[in-house]
Amino acid sequence: MEYRHHLSFDTHEEGKLTLEEYLDRVVFYKKRPFTRTQFRRFMFAQSKPYPDMIELVSYLKVQYGLKIVAVSNEARELNAYRIQKFKLNRFVDSFISSCFVHLRKPDADIFRLVLDIAQTPVNQVVYIENTPMFVRIAEGLGIRSILHTDYKSTFAKLISFGLQPDE
């Protein structure tokens, strides 16, 4: 299954395979002791919010009038689930997701596309990411970036960029 996942996952995240097609190729190409519905439920249940970060970004958006753009490598169905489940569209202005734009990080073109869509000068952009390689690529394009490891360090870095929440 791991081999099949490796061969199909990028195509799935790029929106070129539906979840059902992916499951047919990777999981249910043979009889399993669980159903497709059970598998889907398990898969979606792995999505967990970061409530402190959601609250912080939502607050900073209002306080500073920020544009918030989410850049993600996600398949369409999981992306839609997370947006709805965690009400991300309440504070995110645009979702530049691999399934919509058919590009995936680490391709630098996805970051260029975000800059084009946001129409915000690169020196006014802050990118928060938990994958070191993606941070380095963004920084190589002149985008100020934060390697998110925990709330406290990300909060401190945002303050260093001048984004201090009012008390």
Print burial letters for 143-167: b (CB count within 10 Å at least 16), e (below 16).
bebbbbeeeeebbebbeeeebeeee
* Upper half-sphere CA count for residue 147 (Cβ side, 13 Å): 8
- The model's pTM is 0.91
**CB-count burial class (<10 Å; 0-12, 13-18, 19+) for 82:** buried
Question: Would you state the pLDDT for residue 17?
Answer: 96
Joined tokens for residue 41: 């439920």
The pLDDT profile of the chain, 167 residues, written as one tens digit per residue, is 999 999 999 999 999 999 999 999 999 999 999 999 999 999 999 999 999 999 999 999 999 999 999 999 999 999 999 999 999 999 999 999 999 999 999 999 999 999 999 999 999 999 999 999 999 999 999 999 999 999 999 999 999 999 998 86
Kindly report, residue by residue over 78-114, the tens digit of the pLDDT.
999 999 999 999 999 999 999 999 999 999 999 999 9
Q: Delimit the domains of the chain by residue range.
A: 2-45, 51-160
What SS3 state is found at 126?
strand
- The amino acid present at 114, given as its one-letter code, is V
CATH tag, 2-45: 1.10.150.240
Amino acid at 20: E
**In CATH, which superfamily holds the domain spanning 51-160?**
HAD superfamily/HAD-like (3.40.50.1000)
